[in-house]
Amino acid sequence: MSTFSSIISNSSRKTVLVTGCDIFPGYMIAHTILKKKGEHFSKVIVGYYKENELVHLLKQQGAEPVKLSIDDCDGIVKAYSKADIVVVIPPVSDDKWCDGDPCVYLHAAEKAKVRGLVLCSKINIKELGKMPYIKPLCKMEDGFEKVKGKVEVASLMRCSIHIDMLWLFRHQIATDHQLCLSADKNAKFVPVVEADGALGLYNMLIDPKFPPGTYELTGPSTVDFNAVAQSVSSAIDMDVDYSQVDRDDVVEYLKSKSRVCSNVAEFIGDMLDAVSMGLLDRKTDDLCKLIGKTPMSVKEYMHKNANDFKPDN
């Protein structure tokens, strides 16, 4: 049976393309591959819709950027044709995310004769797919099912909510000593650290012992946002209170303070709603197997990144 590893080993160009690199999940996956560039991959192409700081950073790290959009299927096919493997991070930043057809990112893999395809999605997608800004991702999973048999190797990687979204609220934590989100503080969820998820995906690509299939990546422990606030307090040695606010407050904060585009802000709003509904509380050991160790906990994450959440002096 073919694996992603065998595709890379038998290729002369050894090229991977990662879409959605203008948002943090895509950035982190591309960044992880670039750190090991030359070991397995010779070229990393990064697709984006909105050129921003993340794209510029990846370019500095040696990536080849290419603008992609839902409205330009031919452009996606052209970009894909240069790659052996394509990792599809949903193009949430695209203006057509909700009213276009994001499945073009999957159909293009068949047209471009891509050998390996990965779609990154969310756990419990059937329930999450009822939410307006996550619904297109549900369509993408349906599209993946239709395309996966037409490429040599295909995998579906589902993640829970990323704890790295706290980076988007670090100004709030540092200046107001508060974590104000639109999620029930007592609702349980199992967050995954983006770097662990990215490493897990990378290992699946390069290690022949991981067959293609469906992987569900979660963190090591169940928490609630009250516990997250306590972890923040411990890490920065400062009281940080959690309070629940309206979704609109969260969306406006992200757009104004974190310079996140409207779609991404609304997508995070949907994910926080999913936490409140108890849709992200399932824990698996897939990530542990992929990275060969216990994934990082919220407490470990906060202590590792404590300086980024402290007030500027």
Q: What is the per-residue DSSP string for 176-195? A: HSEEEESS-TT--B--B-HH
- Give alpha helix (H) positions in 61-165: 73-80, 104-111, 125-128, 135-147
Q: What are the sequence ranges of the domains in the chain?
A: 4-159+194-217, 164-188+220-281+293-309
Same CATH fold, 164-188+220-281+293-309 and 4-159+194-217? no
Mean pLDDT, rounded, for 199-205: 98
Q: What is the pLDDT of residues 147-163, one digit of tens each?
A: 999 999 999 999 999 99
pLDDT band at 305 (very low <50, low <70, confident <90, very high): very high
Distance, CA of 39 to CA of 303 (rounded, Å)? 31
pLDDT band at 115 (very low <50, low <70, confident <90, very high): very high
Mean pLDDT, rounded, for 243-256: 96
Q: What is the pTM of this model?
A: 0.96
Find where tokens 């090591």 sit: 220
Mean pLDDT, rounded, for 23-32: 97
Report whether pLDDT(312) > 80: no
Give the residue among 161, 309, 307 at the shortest CA–CA distance from 225. 161
Mean pLDDT for the chain?
96
Report the CATH superfamily, name and number, of domain 164-188+220-281+293-309.
Answer: UDP-galactose 4-epimerase, domain 1 (3.90.25.10)
Mean pLDDT, rounded, for 83-92: 98
Report whether pLDDT(283) > 70: yes
CATH 3.40.50.800 fits 4-159+194-217, yes or no: no
Report helix, strand and coil shares of the chain as percent, to nearest 5.
Answer: 45, 15, 40
